[in-house]
């Protein structure tokens, strides 16, 4: 589904990603862990097409298409979804209007008719239940005045509405209490299908108690330095990241 | 530029007076003298620094001093631009109040008078005399003096004590002429104690000639009265509009003013809310959507003369191409106007590098126990929000539109007539999409 080859990227001229290689197949859940500043979020931005990041080298293939040539909206329409680490507040744009515009633009891309008002509201209701989202939230402006937990829940709600092929969850667990964490993880698990995939970026292991990854990658200094199964996450939780740093840096010194 | 109008008045003042009301003529010569002294305000004056009227004033306009009537009946040909609104509908053609036909007496509540100012001044001289010119005569403003020199008529509305109008009154100013034309009108609105009224003023043009409108409106909001004044300007680039809206508030009155400019040429709105009572509420809102070389200057003044009142002010501009905007927000709190609270916000988005915005908050506070604040920003669309929407599959152009629409939403939320609010949102959206937003079903424009 997704194939990243030797990806280099920089922000404001500073190289952040230094040769990332990653392949994700349909049906898989990948976790990326790593210390702060390793470039985890930058990878998520590159995938979603954030103009702040400049790709200097490498390629990304998504379902046979060159992802790097696509606008952010087309990436979304092709099935990439980023759950933002810091969801953006948009005062004055109602959740309903926002979601209806998004859903219908996605449908237009697939040559489908726009959803009728009734069908749209039914879909909203159904997906809201999935993430146990308060009715009041969808009648408000996008993320405006939402608590940290509500914002994250709203991200998963949007993901449920858009049904992406590849969901990228960027630190979706940060700032969540244990109940919210469970709800968010439940939502992600319920949306899991054999034909879609997820890339979970997280600093801590605890989200991975709920979302069980098939692969765990350790990100350090702009690239993946170690890959393992879910046990690697447990090991990281126990030992921290220092041993990884040593392992990575030692061979260079020799 | 002034000279031709001065000469014109000297030659035709008898005729001008002959076709107006005695009460309006009472201050006409004094106004003329004032105009001779002041002339048209130029950008050399601090308060008119950003309004350059030299181009529109270089055009020679016709004046209808003989008060010739039009040969069209607007009730037949004009379909309301806010169709869901049930309103009392009235027309001013250029500067002439269109006589209401009998079926359109419109079942106004007992005692309510809606008329041409001239007729009202002749029919109810005592009532009109008590108010007419009481706010405007004292002003040292060239445009007001010009208006009082040449205005022969206008719109008059009187709502007696404790009468509440259940429907809004809609006043449509239509500009119609085969040659370049200037209209001067003096409007008078009186709400007695406990009265309630909503007025929606729409400015329209039919013909593609140059129009110059100079409108003076005096509003008297009595004790405990509730008054809403909405103005929608939807004309074209050939239009120049000078408007002076002077509002006087007595104790516990509640006044909302919302001034929206969607299409225009050059516009200067002077709005003054004089809070001459305690426990008043005043809300002054406005928005501007400008492109091409539209030019809009809203010059506002809120004067707190008495204690314990609240005022809020909110203006938003979205400017594209080489359009120009200006906003001045003067808030004056008199020495004894303690416990005043007054908040002002002006936010502006520039969509192009060539659009210009000038904003000037100006607080003059002489009392020492008040809550006042102001804030002004000029910026661009929020890139983070735009990207967030794009990441959900919304195209860049649609994302921009949603953001611009959202930016103006709080001004539109301050429209308390739901049908008007819905309609306005639609007009604004169409305007932002670049579709011609003139009223649907409107047959003569």
Q: Is the pTM of this model over 0.80?
A: yes
pLDDT of B226 reads: 98
Q: CB–CB of B136/B168 below 8 Å?
A: no
pLDDT of A182 reads: 86
Neighbours of B418 (CB within 10 A): 10
Per-residue pLDDT of B294-309, as tens digits, reads 999 999 999 999 999 9
pLDDT of B286 reads: 97
Nearest CA in chain A to B387: A50
Of B390, B402, B405, the CB nearest to A72: B390
pLDDT of A253 reads: 46
With a cut of 70, say whether residue B103 has pLDDT above it. no
The order of strands in the sheet holding B88-93 is B96-97, B88-93, B169-175, B196-205, B226-234, B254-263, B281-290, B310-319, B341-350, B371-379
DSSP chain A: -EEEEEEEEEETTEEEEEEEEEEE-TT-EEEEE--TTSSHHHHHHHHHT-TTEEEEEEEEEETTEEGGGS-HHHHHHHTEEEE-SSPPPEEEEEHHHHHHHHHHHHHHHTT-PPPPHHHHHHHHHHHHHHTT--HHHHTSEETTT--HHHHHHHHHHHHHHH--SEEEEESTTTT--HHHHHHHHHHHHHH--TT-EEEEEESSSGGGGTS--SEEEEEETTEEEEEE-HHHHHHHHHH-SHHHHHHHHHHHH-
Phi, psi of A90 (to 5 degrees): -125, 85
- The β-bridge relationship of strands B324-333 and B356-365 is parallel
With a cut of 50, say whether residue A21 has pLDDT above it. yes
- Which residues face B299 on adjacent strands? B270, B328
Residue B59 CA to residue A211 CA, distance in Å, equals 74
DSSP B73-97: -HHHHPPPSSTT---EEEEEETTEE
pLDDT of B83 reads: 60
Handedness of CA B41, B45, B46, B52 (dihedral sign): positive
Mean pLDDT across A213-239: 89
pLDDT of A252 reads: 53
Query: In a 3-state reduction of DSSP, which class is residue B233?
Result: strand
Q: Look up the ipTM and state it.
A: 0.94
pLDDT of B222 reads: 98
- Residue ranges per domain, chain B? 2-433
Q: Which of B347, B392, B402, B428 to mutate to test the interface with A (most CBs of A within 10 A)?
A: B392
Per-residue pLDDT of B240-250, as tens digits, reads 999 999 999 99
Residue B418 CA to residue A45 CA, distance in Å, equals 42
Q: Which of A232-236, B330-334, B368-372 comes out lowest in average pLDDT?
A: A232-236
Q: Which of B381, B386, B388 to mutate to test the interface with A (most CBs of A within 10 A)?
A: B388
Query: In a 3-state reduction of DSSP, which class is residue B311?
Result: strand
Residue B287 CA to residue B271 CA, distance in Å, equals 14
The verdict on A213 touching B (C-beta cutoff 8 Å) is: no
pLDDT of B352 reads: 94
pLDDT of A148 reads: 87
Q: What is the DSSP letter of B149?
A: H
- In angstroms, what separates the C-alpha of A74 from chain B's closest C-alpha? 6
The verdict on B22 touching A (C-beta cutoff 8 Å) is: no
**Residue among B167, B155, B173, B165 at smallest CA distance from B191:** B165
With a cut of 70, say whether residue B441 has pLDDT above it. no
Domain that holds residue A49: 2-253
* Extended beta strands in B65-154, E state: 88-93, 96-97, 113-116
The verdict on A98 touching B (C-beta cutoff 8 Å) is: yes
Give the number of A-B residue pairs with CB atoms closer than 8 Å. Answer: 77
Query: In a 3-state reduction of DSSP, which class is residue B397?
Result: helix
Q: Which of B199-213, B247-261, B375-389 comes out lowest in average pLDDT?
A: B199-213
Per-residue pLDDT of B65-79, as tens digits, reads 888 877 777 776 666
**Residue among A221, A248, A226, A252 at smallest CA distance from A17:** A221
**Residue among B262, B253, B309 at smallest CA distance from B286:** B262
**CATH code (residue A74):** 3.40.50.300
With a cut of 60, say whether residue A65 has pLDDT above it. yes
- In angstroms, what separates the C-alpha of A115 from chain B's closest C-alpha? 15
Phi, psi of B128 (to 5 degrees): -65, -40
- In angstroms, what separates the C-alpha of A138 from chain B's closest C-alpha? 16
How many domains does chain A contain in total? 1
B409/A162 Cβ within 8 A: no
Contact partners, residue B431, CB within 8 Å, separation at least 6: B262, B263, B289, B437
pLDDT of A227 reads: 92
What value, to the nearest 5°, has the Cα angle with vertex B277 and ends B273 and B278?
Answer: 120
Q: Chain A contacts of B390, Cβ < 8 Å?
A: 49, 71-73, 76
Per-residue pLDDT of A177-213, as tens digits, reads 888 788 888 888 988 899 999 999 988 788 888 899 9
Q: Which of B121-125, B170-174, B241-245, B307-311 comes out lowest in average pLDDT?
A: B170-174
With a cut of 60, say whether residue B438 has pLDDT above it. no
pLDDT of A233 reads: 86
Q: CB–CB of B258/B421 below 8 Å?
A: no
Mean pLDDT across B129-146: 96
With a cut of 50, say whether residue B93 has pLDDT above it. yes
Q: CB–CB of B272/B221 below 8 Å?
A: no
Mean pLDDT across B414-433: 88
The verdict on A71 touching B (C-beta cutoff 8 Å) is: yes
The verdict on A104 touching B (C-beta cutoff 8 Å) is: no
**Residue among B101, B100, B133, B15 at smallest CA distance from B64:** B15
**B positions 387-416 inside 8 Å of A (CB):** 387-396, 398, 402-403, 405-410
Q: Which of A101, A154, A155, A160 to mutate to test the interface with B (most CBs of B within 10 A)?
A: A101
The verdict on A154 touching B (C-beta cutoff 8 Å) is: no
Q: Which of A184-193, B43-52, B207-216, B266-275 comes out lowest in average pLDDT?
A: A184-193
**Residue among A33, A161, A148, A36 at smallest CA distance from A95:** A161
pLDDT of B204 reads: 82
The verdict on A102 touching B (C-beta cutoff 8 Å) is: yes
Over chain B, what is the mean pLDDT? 91
Over chain A, what is the mean pLDDT? 90
């Amino acid at each position: 589904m997704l194939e990243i080859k030797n990806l280099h990227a920089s922000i404001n001229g500073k190289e952040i990603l230094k040769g990332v290689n990653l392949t994700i197949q349909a049906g898989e859940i990948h976790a990326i862990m790593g210390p702060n500043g390793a470039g985890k979020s930058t990878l998520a931005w590159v995938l979603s097409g954030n103009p702040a990041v400049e790709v200097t080298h490498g390629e990304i293939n998504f379902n046979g298409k060159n992802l790097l040539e696509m606008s952010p909206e087309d990436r979304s329409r092709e099935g990439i979804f980023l759950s933002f680490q810091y969801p953006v507040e948009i005062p004055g744009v109602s959740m309903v209007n926002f979601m209806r515009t998004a859903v219908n633009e996605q449908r237009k891309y697939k040559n489908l008719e726009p959803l009728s008002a009734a069908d749209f509201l039914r879909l909203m209701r159904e997906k809201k239940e999935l993430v146990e989202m308060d009715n009041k939230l969808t009648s408000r402006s996008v993320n405006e005045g939402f608590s940290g937990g509500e914002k994250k829940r709203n991200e998963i709600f949007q993901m449920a509405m858009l049904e992406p092929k590849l969901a990228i969850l960027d630190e979706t667990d940060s700032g969540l209490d244990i109940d919210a964490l469970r709800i968010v993880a439940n939502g992600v698990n319920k949306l899991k299908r054999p034909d879609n995939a997820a890339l979970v970026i997280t600093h801590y292991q605890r989200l991975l108690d709920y979302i069980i990854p098939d692969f765990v990658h350790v990100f350090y200094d702009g690239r993946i330095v170690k890959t393992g199964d879910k046990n690697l996450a447990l090991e990281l939780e126990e030992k921290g990241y220092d041993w990884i740093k040593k392992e990575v840096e030692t061979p260079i010194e020799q | 530029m002034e000279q031709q109008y001065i000469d014109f008045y000297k030659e035709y003042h008898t005729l001008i007076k002959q076709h107006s009301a005695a009460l309006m003529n009472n201050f006409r010569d004094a106004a003329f003298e004032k105009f001779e002294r002041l002339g048209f305000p130029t950008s050399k004056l601090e308060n008119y620094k950003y309004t350059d009227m030299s181009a529109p004033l270089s055009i020679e306009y016709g004046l209808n001093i003989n008060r010739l009537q039009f040969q069209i009946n607007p009730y037949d040909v004009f379909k309301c631009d806010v169709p869901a609104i049930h309103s009392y509908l009235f027309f001013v053609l250029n500067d002439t109040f269109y006589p209401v036909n009998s079926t359109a007496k419109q079942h106004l509540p007992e005692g309510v008078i809606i008329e041409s100012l001239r007729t009202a001044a002749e029919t109810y001289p005592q009532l009109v005399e008590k108010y007419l010119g009481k706010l405007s005569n004292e002003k040292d403003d060239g445009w007001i003096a010009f208006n009082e020199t040449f205005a022969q008529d206008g719109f008059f509305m009187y709502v007696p004590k404790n009468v509440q109008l259940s429907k809004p009154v809609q006043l449509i100013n239509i500009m119609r002429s085969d040659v370049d034309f200037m209209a001067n009108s003096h409007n008078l609105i009186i709400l007695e104690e406990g009265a309630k009224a909503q007025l929606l003023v729409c400015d329209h043009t039919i013909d593609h000639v140059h129009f110059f409108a100079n409108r003076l409106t005096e509003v008297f909001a009595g004790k405990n009265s509730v008054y809403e004044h909405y103005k929608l300007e939807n004309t074209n680039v050939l239009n120049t509009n000078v408007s002076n809206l002077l509002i006087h508030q007595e104790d516990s009155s509640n006044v909302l003013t919302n001034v929206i400019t969607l299409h225009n040429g050059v516009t200067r709105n002077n709005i003054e809310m004089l809070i001459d009572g305690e426990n008043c509420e005043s809300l002054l809102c406005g928005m501007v959507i400008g492109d091409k070389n539209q030019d809009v200057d809203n010059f506002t003044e809120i004067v707190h003369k008495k204690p314990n009142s609240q005022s809020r002010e909110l203006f938003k501009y979205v400017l594209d191409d080489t359009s120009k905007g200006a906003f001045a927000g003067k808030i004056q709190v008199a020495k004894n106007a303690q416990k005043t609270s007054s908040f002002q916000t002006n936010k502006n988005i520039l969509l192009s590098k060539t659009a210009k915005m000038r904003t000037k908050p100006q607080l003059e506070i002489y009392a020492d126990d008040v809550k006042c604040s102001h804030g002004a920003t000029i910026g661009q669309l929020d890139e983070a929000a735009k990207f967030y929407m794009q990441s959900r599959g919304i195209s860049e152009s649609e994302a921009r539109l949603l953001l611009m629409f959202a930016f103006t939403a709080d001004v539109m939320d301050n429209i308390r007539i739901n049908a008007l609010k819905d309609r306005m949102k639609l007009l604004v959206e169409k305007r932002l999409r670049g579709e011609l937003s003139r009223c649907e079903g409107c047959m003569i424009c």
